[in-house]
Amino acid sequence: MNSRPLSPSPSPWSRVDWRALSGLRARFLDESAGISDYWSQESDLDSYDLTFGQRIAWKWMHVLEELALIGWEPPPIRVLDWGCGSGVAGRVFSERFAGTTFSTLSVWDRSSLAIRFAERRASERFPGLLVEAGIPPSEPFTLLLSHVLTELDEVQTEELVALSRRAEAVVCVEPGTYGASRRLIHFREALRGDFQVVAPCCHQAACPMLEKNNAPHWCHHFAWPPAEVFTDSDWAKFATFMGIDLRSLPVSFLVLDRRDNIQRLGGMTRLIGRARLYKPHALILGCEAQGLTEPRVSKRLHPELFKKLRKNETPPWVRWVHEDGQMKEIHEILESSILAMNLHPG
């Protein structure tokens, strides 16, 4: 019996509306996205979800890997993805915790189109998960915030702070830009009296970035895309069209938890950003309970850490001893064994 060969399924990238993506990116860059709803049709959400949404997913994976590293899991209650957009944050969070920690996901956005899209995608990906639209009126929840702070004015930010005070835990992931980081720091300051600060901070005190002499700094880190992205022709086209360096995935994040039994990595320093490299040494910014520090890491005396800094594989946590700006001893380097995550949220 003769049969025709099956035609290959069309690539999801064939659905991408490049003009719509370009318009979205322009609004994100000039921070005009908060003025009005920018989702005009479902294809906008689909194109975003396949491209920019995936980059946000990799940031969330990076954050969740670090939270696993320090032993944090969300409380066993409903999760609310607020300002959900295409629903990437809720799906990545569900990939890690749904069914074991929570069984209900709520999605909310100012755009009803985005709510329906996020609700449908999460239901398709996790058929055993109860997915509902809207903000729970009274039930406690874990609050997910993803790339929203730069879209809010002062009044809207205060409303979000009030909503956050209803949550049992808050996980916020933002772009790793100076402006986004500064907004996130002020968000932290507004809420740290109500919560335990879990990450990336190593203390509960006021953020030292707010001190006048630290004004040039901002709290940011770098996530890693899956390795196959760099050999994929569709991602290469995306990078060229959008003018994006696929290797650079800066992220700022904040995790708050109302529970009292939160474990802390006592005596450890949270490294920030990337090192300034010189031939014999490197300078790397670290946040400690006493404030910010930037000790000199000698290539000769501390080759293991220096090598990681040179390769831009900055570990999140170190236990070290420094004196007069010089690194004296390194007792522990704590890092995830997974730098490039090959998981996709669907």
Note whether residue 346 is domain-resident. Answer: no
The residue-averaged pLDDT of 6-33 equals: 79
Is residue 92 located within the same domain as residue 203? yes
> Two tokens at 29?
């860059």
Q: Is the pLDDT of residue 343 over 70?
A: no
Query: C-alpha dihedral over 227, 232, 236, 239, to 10 degrees?
Result: -50
Domain-terminating residue out of 203, 230, 257: 257
User: Hunting for tokens 């170190």 — which residue is that?
Assistant: 318
Closest listed residue to residue 47, CA positions, set 81, 23, 13: 13
Q: Which amino acid is at 91?
A: R
Residue 154, H or E segment:
helix 154-164
Residue 9 DSSP code: P
pLDDT of 25: 84
Question: How far, in whole angstroms, is CA 41 from its chain's centroid?
Answer: 26
Query: Could you tell me what percent of the chain has a pLDDT over 70?
Result: 92
In the predicted model, what is the mean pLDDT of the chain?
A: 90
pLDDT of 148: 96
pLDDT confidence bin for 3, thresholds 50/70/90: low
pLDDT of 294: 94
Sign of the alpha-carbon dihedral angle for 279, 281, 283, 286: positive
Is residue 116 located within the same domain as residue 245? yes
- Residue-wise pLDDT for 276-335, tens only, equals 999 999 999 999 988 899 999 999 999 999 999 999 989 999 999 999 999 999 999 988
Is residue 204 located within the same domain as residue 289? no
Cβ neighbors of 156 (< 8 A, separation 6 or more) are 34
The residue-averaged pLDDT of 15-33 equals: 82
Residue 251: is it exposed, middle or buried by C-beta count within 10 angstroms (0-12/13-18/19+)?
buried
Is residue 184 located within the same domain as residue 296? no
- Residue-wise pLDDT for 226-281, tens only, equals 999 999 999 999 999 999 999 889 999 999 999 988 877 778 999 999 999 999 99
- Residue-wise pLDDT for 60-81, tens only, equals 999 999 999 989 999 999 999 9
Spatial separation of the C-alpha atoms in residues 176 and 173, rounded to whole Å: 9
Residue-wise burial string across 322-339, b where 16 or more C-beta atoms lie within 10 A, e elsewhere = beeeebeebeebebeeee
Instruction: Identify whether the C-beta of residue 238 lies closer than 8 Å to the C-beta of residue 185.
Output: no
Closest listed residue to residue 187, CA positions, set 89, 256, 270: 256
pLDDT confidence bin for 180, thresholds 50/70/90: very high
Is residue 225 located within the same domain as residue 280? no
Domain-terminating residue out of 257, 287, 314: 257
Is residue 122 located within the same domain as residue 214? yes
CATH value at residue 54:
3.40.50.150
Q: Is the pLDDT of residue 49 over 70?
A: yes
Q: Is the pLDDT of residue 34 over 70?
A: no
Domain that holds residue 290: 269-334
Q: Within a 10 A sphere around the Cβ of 289, how many other Cβ atoms?
A: 15
Is residue 253 located within the same domain as residue 148? yes
Spatial separation of the C-alpha atoms in residues 272 and 254, rounded to whole Å: 13
Q: Is the pLDDT of residue 27 over 90?
A: no
pLDDT confidence bin for 340, thresholds 50/70/90: very low
Tally of domains in the chain: 2
